[in-house]
Amino acid sequence: MEQKHLLLVDGMALLFRSFFASAAMNQYIRLEDGTPTNGVQGFVRHVMTAETLFQPTHMAVCWDMGSHTFRNELYDGYKANRPAPPEEMLPQFDLAKEVSELLGWTNFGQIGMEADDSIGSMIEKWKDDATITVISGDRDLLQLLNPSTSIALTKKGYTQYEMYNEARFVEEYGIAPAQFADVKAFMGDSSDGYPGIKGIGPKTALQLIQAYGSIEGVLANLEALKPAQRAKILDGVEMLSLSHQLATIQCSMDIPLQLEELVRSPYTPQHEALLQQKGYRLIVKHAKSLGVL
């Protein structure tokens, strides 16, 4: 029986990465009607290349569904400092999902949740049924590592990744992957807009969790800390708890899919015809260079 290998794609991460990489050079790759497609075409080329590299038997592409999630309900400042997407990117969110579907990829997202939560919940659902590889640029996903799951962090171009398995994470960080959210709670995340404990950076945050195991462990051992450190934590203990909720990827979403629905099939001349018809010539050219069309 063939070993199942599930590839989970962080669609938002790859779409944004592809958009900004080409927008910086003013390359919007417009369709005949003027619609920019640089993010879409880069995203699709990235995923196609990943398929040839990782050889998955199953695949799903996970998306945020709108900018407002349960984390915004918890904290008004969550991602509040992020600028709105550029005008040229706005039509590309729907286009990316449309092309993804056209190619036979399964899109998944749930209103109020982030792509990270979909990925975490799929890992939880299928960790015993398949080897899983996640593609993203988001290190927060390292908390999802387990014996059957690897995280491929985008590095350069379409082919270079920084690969993490559970063993590498434990060796590098000195904690279990699930404890990474506790570290994030102390250090905060400026890009996501939550402060953690002011005055405690990544190095100290990691040392605290290495020493005491969890937020609760640190709070139970405040007397062992330096007075200045203790004061910082006591001043921000409410935000510490909130930051932990914001940093923790939810893994209990209902995933109304069966693994069999995610099986990958070869591309066909019909896929090529549809891509050409819609004006995605760069995707066709890339697919032919990979030998998948």
Q: What is the pLDDT of residue 2?
A: 74
pLDDT tens digits for range 200-211: 999 999 999 999
Interval 72-79 mean pLDDT:
94
Burial status of residue 111 (CB atoms within 10 A of its CB: 0-12, 13-18, 19 or more): exposed
Interval 240-261 mean pLDDT:
97
Given a cut of 80, whether residue 101 has pLDDT beyond it is yes
| Non-local CB neighbours of 283 within 8 Å, separated by 6+ positions | 41, 44, 45, 48, 99, 275
Indicate the CATH number for domain 174-247.
1.10.150.20
Supply 32's token pair.
């005949």
**pLDDT tier at 259, thresholds 50, 70, 90:** very high
CA distance 158 to 263: 23
The 3 state secondary structure assigned to 44-83 is HHHHHHHHHHHCCCEEEEECCCCCCEHHHHHCCCCCCCCC
- CATH 3.40.50.1010 placement within the chain: 5-171+251-290
- CATH 1.10.150.20 placement within the chain: 174-247
Mean pLDDT of the chain: 96
- In CATH, the architecture of 5-171+251-290 is 3-Layer(aba) Sandwich (3.40)
CA distance 154 to 235: 37
Q: What is the pLDDT of residue 200?
A: 97
Given a cut of 90, whether residue 145 has pLDDT beyond it is yes
> In the chain, pLDDT over 90 holds for what percent of residues?
97
Interval 40-57 mean pLDDT:
98
Supply 93's token pair.
């969110």
Q: Are 103 and 271 in contact (CB under 8 A)?
A: yes
Given a cut of 70, whether residue 1 has pLDDT beyond it is no
